[in-house]
Structure 1
Amino acid sequence: MKKSLAILALAAPFALFAAPSHAAPETYAIDGTHTFPRFSYSHFGYSKQLSRFNKTTGTVTLDKAARTAAVDVTIDMKSVDTGFELFDGHIQGSDFLDTATFPTAHFKSTNVVFDGDKPVSIDGNLTIKGVTRPVTLTVTSFQAMPHPMLKKDAIGANATTVIKRSEFNAGKYAPNVGDEVTLDIAIEAIKQ
């Protein structure tokens, strides 16, 4: 009996290493210094205008083993950056973003589709100017690895979709100023 107990006592620590490990969901906080939602549209057919938002917050929850994820992002619409200060104010007016009434936009995922270990599309609800519509983001790149400077796990991705601004009550001058707006989101997030 004593011999059996001794064998069990010696074997127990090794059993922990042999047991399959189950990863738990991990939460990553948006890195606001490397996360910039950008948008582009046709300006009277003359050119494709490209602008961005400079302040974004939120989280990404990722379970690598289960291949599931969730995204919850808030964009400060007053941080719009067109490259021209006067136009920044113009685009924040009631005909476009109406940031006095709706200072933020919000995206919350409803489903993330994986191909192997990488997400390839993200379904979710996008809210702009109090209007919520379903969108699907196509993930064009994804990286998960330790951050070389911060020494913490980090993730990064680029994703894109096309929306109609008129569907969010921001359609002034359409179709001369393009109704279709391409959203291109660059995101980095650090494990908490």
Structure 2
Amino acid sequence: MKKITLAALLSSFAAASFAAPETFAIDPTHTAPRFEYNHFGYSNQQHRFDKTSGKIVLDRAAKTGSVEVVIDAKSVNTGYDVFNGHLQGEDFFDTAKFGSITFKSTGVKFDGDKPVSIDGNLTIKGVTKPVTLTVTNYTFAPHPMLKKDAIGANAVAKVKRTDFNMGKYAPYVSDEVTLVIAVEAIKE
């Protein structure tokens, strides 16, 4: 019985030592960062960005990882060209000076085999603030069409516009903004 236990222990140690980080490229066609805010108390408005890139690295055995997301701020999509231009102006995203919004993780927390939160730095308009994304959904599975491993997740965080020099019309247009990122990524 000791031989089986020792063999099992050595086998699990060998498997753990061969575990390696896996890199996943963000699929821009299935990744949609959104933001939601209250507009003068009338309604909660939701808008999105249409161009996103980045990568996710996971070591499932070690329960570590990293996330890097780059959002093209000029791809803001409200459904109205005039309003898109308004949000790209100096009072908000100022895309003439700051073309990208970035999130770079500083740590990933796991519960069992699933990431549950991602700490990192969010940079908007050249201002970087710590943000924690709460993972509300996570899936790791072979992609049925691409025949490669893939991951998908939904994550949410709340930030204040004023922290990023975007406080025009606050508090009438809410200072607090909910960020929601739906992301899919394919193993490289």
TM-score under structure 2 length normalisation = 0.92
| 1:132 CA displacement | 0.2
Amino acid at match of 2:120: G
| 1:83 CA displacement | 1.1
For residue 27 of structure 1, what is the aligned residue in structure 2? 23
Match of 1:113 among 93, 109, 113: 109
Amino acid at match of 1:125: N
Q: Over residues 99-135 of structure 1, what are the superposed CA-to-partner deviations in whole Å (9 max), with x where a residue is unaligned?
A: 0000001100001000000000000000000000000
| 1:71 CA displacement | 0.2
User: 2:145 matched to 1:149?
Assistant: yes
For residue 43 of structure 1, what is the aligned residue in structure 2? 39
| 1:162 CA displacement | 0.3
Q: Over residues 7-54 of structure 1, what are the superposed CA-to-partner deviations in whole Å (9 max), with x where a residue is unaligned?
A: xxxxxxxxxxx6732210010000000001100000000000000000
Count how many residue pairs are aligned between Structure 1 and Structure 2.
175
CA distance in 1, matches of 2:142, 2:79: 33
CA distance in 2, matches of 1:34, 1:136: 22
Match of 1:174 among 147, 170, 175: 170
CA distance in 1, matches of 2:63, 2:92: 38
Q: How does 1:91-130 map to 2 (within 5 A)?
A: 91-130=87-126
1:96 aligned counterpart, secondary structure: coil
2:162 aligned counterpart, secondary structure: helix
CA distance in 2, matches of 1:43, 1:73: 27
User: 2:76 matched to 1:80?
Assistant: yes
CA distance in 2, matches of 1:179, 1:84: 22
Max Rg structure: 1
2:29 aligned counterpart, secondary structure: coil
For residue 163 of structure 1, what is the aligned residue in structure 2? 159
Q: Over residues 47-102 of structure 1, what are the superposed CA-to-partner deviations in whole Å (9 max), with x where a residue is unaligned?
A: 00000000000000001111111001110000000111110011100001100000
Deviates more, 1:112-121 or 1:18-27: 18-27
Amino acid at match of 1:133: K
What 5-or-longer segments of structure 1 have no aligned partner? Answer: 1-17
TM-score under structure 1 length normalisation = 0.90
For residue 3 of structure 1, what is the aligned residue in structure 2? none
1:97 aligned counterpart, secondary structure: coil
CA distance in 2, matches of 1:185, 1:69: 17
CA distance in 1, matches of 2:102, 2:87: 18
Percent identity between the two aligned chains: 67
1:33 aligned counterpart, secondary structure: helix
CA distance in 2, matches of 1:148, 1:171: 44
Runs of 4+ more than 4 Å apart:
none
CA distance in 2, matches of 1:104, 1:130: 9
Amino acid at match of 2:100: T
For residue 186 of structure 2, what is the aligned residue in structure 1? 190
Q: How does 1:11-26 map to 2 (within 5 A)?
A: 20-21=14-15, 22-26=18-22
Superposition CA RMSD, Å: 0.9
